[in-house]
Amino acid sequence: MSNYIENLPDVRGVYKFSEPLKKYTWLGVGGEAEVLYEPQDEADLQYFMQHKPQNMPVFILGGGSNLLVRDGGIAGVVIKLKNANFAQWRVVEDKFICGAGLVNFNLKKILPANCLGGLEFLCSIPGTIGGAFRSNAGCFGSELSQVLGCARVMDGCGKIFNVGAADFHFAYRHSEFPEDWIILEACFKTVNKSETEISAQIMQNDEYRRTHQPQGIKTAGSTFKNPPQQAAWKLIKAAGGDNMVVGGAHMSAQHCNFLQNNGTATAEDIEKLGNQIIEAVKKQSGIELKWEIKRVGQNINNDK
């Protein structure tokens, strides 16, 4: 334990020490968080950010769906907005405003009941609303940047302010905003549709997922970004990556851009397999795949 622990501010939320992060990620691998902090509410989080030890590393953990935590874990404090206070939502005219901790799947009930169209694609993206910002999450021809109006954020000093969608500099599966920004709340633009229309679209999206993508396994969704005018899975298959195995890690037989943990994989297995596939694809096609999964933390030997 570092000396940060002795100087943590007295908060109303929950501190967990040496907390295994594999419990919080869809891949089910990874080391420990030196400290996991679950703030009680926005004021509690703000107090923490204003009084935390100087230079203490802080990492924000969303739903853990598109994340690989390395086996050496994460130093400093990992913040998870788990409390229900961060998942509140409201409708103001044609705007849907919700907390960053709202789980995307919960939108399946909220959207139809309130005739909020245009956000159906978000229902099928694993994770939380706040977690979707960093990667500009999207599917079915839509992405977060297209429906976001503005957001409330908190910086590393605890200052809260509003920002517009342009301030995130969104691109395909990418955004650029300060690492210390914590998404508190998002305001989405919606389209008026009937409950029946919205429910039908959500069901159609769900059916596509069930038919074309693996379900009920330890995976983090799409492993690599699609290169321009290319499909990552086709490049992987052409390079033989669909048959590669490292320890307990392999690519899904149903969709070979979904890297899978068979239950025994380590984070090192998963990252090593991913890097081997990148090399194989580049050798076969000349195209270098880029990770879509965010990789964080330290390896066992403490190298990042």
Closest CA to 125 of 112, 108, 113: 108
Reported as half-sphere exposure (CB side, CA atoms, 13 A), residue 173 has a value of 16
Catalytic entry in 173, 185, 268, 271 = 173
Q: H or E stretch including 195?
A: helix 195-212
Rounded CA separation 167/155 (Å): 14
Cβ–Cβ under 8 Å, residues 258 and 219: yes
Closest CA to 181 of 159, 165, 149: 159
Query: For residue 33, what are the β-bridge partners?
Result: 19, 74
Rounded CA separation 15/184 (Å): 20
Residue 175 falls in the annotated catalytic set: no
Rounded CA separation 225/276 (Å): 16
Rounded CA separation 51/292 (Å): 34
Closest CA to 76 of 17, 134, 20: 17
Alpha-helix runs per DSSP H in 52-194 = 107-113, 144-147
Residues 6 or more apart in contact with residue 93 via CB below 8 angstroms: none
Residue 292 falls in the annotated catalytic set: yes
Catalytic entry in 34, 38, 222, 271 = 222
Reported as half-sphere exposure (CB side, CA atoms, 13 A), residue 64 has a value of 19
Pairing state of beta strands 142-143 and 14-20? unpaired
- Alpha-carbon torsion (38, 185, 174, 293), positive or negative: positive
DSSP label at residue 179: T
Catalytic entry in 32, 38, 271, 292 = 292
Catalytic residues: 173, 222, 292
